[in-house]
C-alpha cells in the first residue's frame, strides 16, 4: 500500500537477516537485474538476459517477477534438528508436503527445502527469462511488478513463516514471465533466535507454517489447475478468481492438521532438551493454533476481496513521488 501511495512501479525485498555478496571489493546488488527487466514485455526483456526458456505464447506478457535465492544458513532455522537427528528432520520437514504425496516426492522435497542455492559464491552474471519455479527463488531476494502486488496482497497471517511465498506461486501458476538470476545474497541468523524466548517464538512460527499448508496446498493445487484462468483478457491477475480459490480452501477437515501436531509432538520429544520443553508448551496451545490456521486463510480471502479498494485509496491519498 505504501508503494502504491508513492507511485512505485515495483517493490524490491531484502530481509534484515541477510547481506550482499562482495566481488572484487564491490557489493553484488540484485537490483541490477530487477530494474533491467521488471514490467517489460518478455519479448523485449529477452535482450537483457543470458538465456530465454519461455513458451513463445507468453512472450507478450510482462515480466512480473525477478528474483534469486541465497547462500549461507538455511532459510528456516531448523539446522540444529538435522544435526541432532536426520530422521526427525526428515519427518518434520516432510510435514509441509501434501499428505497424499508419494514418499519419494517427500524425500526430494526435504532435500531441497530451505537450502537456497547451496554454497556456491557469485563469480559472474547468469540470468534466465522463464516462468520461475517457486523452489528456485526466495522472498529475501525478490522483486515484483506493481501489476502483481496491487491486485493480490500477501497473506496477513501473523507469526507464520512461509506464507509470504504466495505471490511467487501465483505468478508461476498464471505463467507470468519472470527472470531468475544468480546474484544470491547471504543469509544469517540474528542473535535473538538463540535466546530461549527467540527459540520458542521461531518454533511457533515454524509449526504455524506447517499447519498453514493444509490450506495453502489446496490453493496452490487449484491455482495450478486454473492456469490462464487466473488472468483476465489483458493478462492481469484476476483477484476475484483468487478470492474464490481462497474461500474454497476454508473449512478443510482439521484431522490432517491434528495429525501434523501429533507428528511434531512425537518428533520434538525424541530430540529432548528445549525441543521437548517446546512440545510440552505446544500441547497446551493445540486448539488455539488449529483455530488460527483456519482463521488466517479466511482473513486472507477477506483482505484479497478488499484489496483493490485499499490500493485505490492509497493511490488517491498519495505520499508524494517515488521517482520511479
- C-alpha–C-alpha distance, residues 19 and 91, integer Å: 31
pLDDT of 324 reads 46
pLDDT given for residue 321 in this prediction: 59
Q: What's the rounded Cα separation, in Å, for the pair 102 and 86?
A: 19
Measure the N-to-C terminal CA separation of the chain; round to a whole number of Å: 16
Q: What residue ranges of the chain have pLDDT lower than 50?
A: 324
SS3 160: coil
Q: What pLDDT score does 104 carry? A: 97
Q: Compute how many other C-beta atoms are within 10 angstroms of the C-beta atom of residue 24.
A: 5
Per-residue pLDDT, 297: 97
DSSP state of 55: -
The predicted model scores a pTM of 0.95
Q: Residues 6 or more apart from 105 whose CB is under 8 A from it?
A: 97
pLDDT of residue 175: 98
Q: Are 310 and 1 in contact (CB under 8 A)?
A: yes
The per-residue pLDDT for 322 is 53
H or E stretch covering 139:
none
Chain centroid to CA 86: 25
Over residues 152-184, the pLDDT tens digits come to 999 999 889 999 999 999 999 999 999 999 999
φ and ψ at 180, to 5 degrees?
A: -105, 120
Alpha helices, H only, 174-254: 196-226, 239-249
Is beta strand 10-14 parallel, antiparallel or unpaired with respect to 141-145? antiparallel
**What is the reported pLDDT for 16?**
87
- Looking at residue 215, what is its pLDDT? 98
Amino acid at each position: 500500500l505504501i508503494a502504491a501511495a508513492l507511485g512505485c512501479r515495483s517493490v524490491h525485498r531484502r530481509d534484515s537477516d541477510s547481506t550482499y555478496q562482495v566481488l572484487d571489493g564491490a557489493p553484488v546488488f540484485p537490483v541490477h537485474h530487477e530494474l533491467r527487466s521488471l514490467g517489460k514485455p518478455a519479448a523485449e526483456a529477452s535482450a537483457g538476459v543470458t538465456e530465454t526458456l519461455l513458451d513463445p505464447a507468453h512472450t507478450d506478457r510482462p515480466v512480473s517477477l525477478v528474483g534469486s535465492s541465497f547462500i549461507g544458513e538455511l532459510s528456516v532455522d531448523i539446522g540444529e534438528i538435522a544435526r541432532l537427528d536426520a530422521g526427525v528432520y526428515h519427518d518434520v520437514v516432510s510435514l509441509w508436503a501434501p499428505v497424499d504425496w508419494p514418499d519419494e516426492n517427500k524425500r526430494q522435497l526435504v532435500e531441497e527445502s530451505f537450502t537456497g542455492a547451496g554454497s556456491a559464491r557469485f563469480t559472474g552474471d547468469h540470468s534466465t527469462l522463464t516462468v520461475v519455479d517457486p523452489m528456485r527463488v526466495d522472498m529475501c531476494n525478490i522483486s515484483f511488478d506493481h501489476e502483481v502486488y496491487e491486485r493480490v496482497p500477501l497473506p496477513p497471517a501473523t507469526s507464520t513463516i512461509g506464507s509470504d511465498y504466495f505471490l511467487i506461486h501465483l505468478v508461476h501458476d498464471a505463467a507470468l514471465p519472470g527472470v531468475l538470476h544468480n546474484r544470491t545474497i547471504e543469509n544469517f541468523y540474528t542473535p535473538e533466535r538463540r535466546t530461549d524466548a527467540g527459540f520458542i517464538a521461531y518454533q511457533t512460527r515454524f509449526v504455524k507454517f506447517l499447519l498453514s499448508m493444509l490450506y495453502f496446498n489446496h490453493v496452490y493445487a487449484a491455482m495450478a489447475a486454473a492456469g490462464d484462468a487466473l488472468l483476465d483478457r489483458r493478462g492481469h491477475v484476476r483477484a476475484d478468481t483468487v478470492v474464490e480459490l481462497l474461500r474454497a480452501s476454508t473449512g478443510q477437515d482439521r484431522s490432517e492438521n491434528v495429525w501434523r501436531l501429533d507428528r511434531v509432538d512425537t518428533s520434538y520429544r525424541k530430540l529432548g532438551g528445549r525441543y521437548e520443553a517446546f512440545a510440552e508448551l505446544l500441547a497446551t496451545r493445540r486448539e488455539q493454533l488449529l483455530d488460527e490456521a483456519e482463521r488466517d486463510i479466511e482473513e486472507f480471502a477477506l483482505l484479497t476481496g478488499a484489496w483493490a479498494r485499499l490500493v485505490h485509496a492509497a493511490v488517491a491519498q498519495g505520499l508524494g513521488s517515488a521517482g520511479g
